[in-house]
């Protein structure tokens, strides 16, 4: 179990978690998933808000990489 101080929720939370794991030396593994076409309803994602949120997140993670202290994480 790893304790990461995440600030974001929702769509940005997953990106922040991956970014922080990478910065802290975590091992990230990809697993294949089958995606299906949505038959009913609409996505709740607000596209412009999500795009600008990701840009802010990338900026914050970049600052952490170049100026912040990162420590190697240890998993139990």
pLDDT at 73 over 90: no
pLDDT tens digits, 8-20? 988 899 999 999 9
pLDDT at 72 over 90: no
If phi > 0 it is left, if psi is from -120 to 50 it is alpha, else beta; for residue 60 that is alpha
- pLDDT band, residue 34 (cuts 50/70/90): very high
DSSP class of residue 68 equals: S
Q: How far apart are CA 25 and CA 9, in angstroms?
A: 22
Angle between helices 47-67 and 11-23 (to 10 degrees): 10
pLDDT tens digits, 43-71? 888 899 999 999 999 999 999 999 876 55
């Amino acid at each position: 179990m790893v304790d990461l101080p995440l600030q974001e929720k929702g769509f940005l939370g997953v990106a922040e978690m991956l970014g922080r794991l990478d910065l802290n030396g975590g091992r990230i593994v990809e697993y294949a998933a089958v995606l299906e076409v949505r038959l009913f309803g609409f996505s709740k994602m607000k596209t412009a808000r999500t795009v600008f949120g990701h840009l802010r997140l990338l900026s914050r993670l970049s600052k952490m990489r170049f100026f912040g202290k990162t420590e190697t994480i240890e998993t139990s």
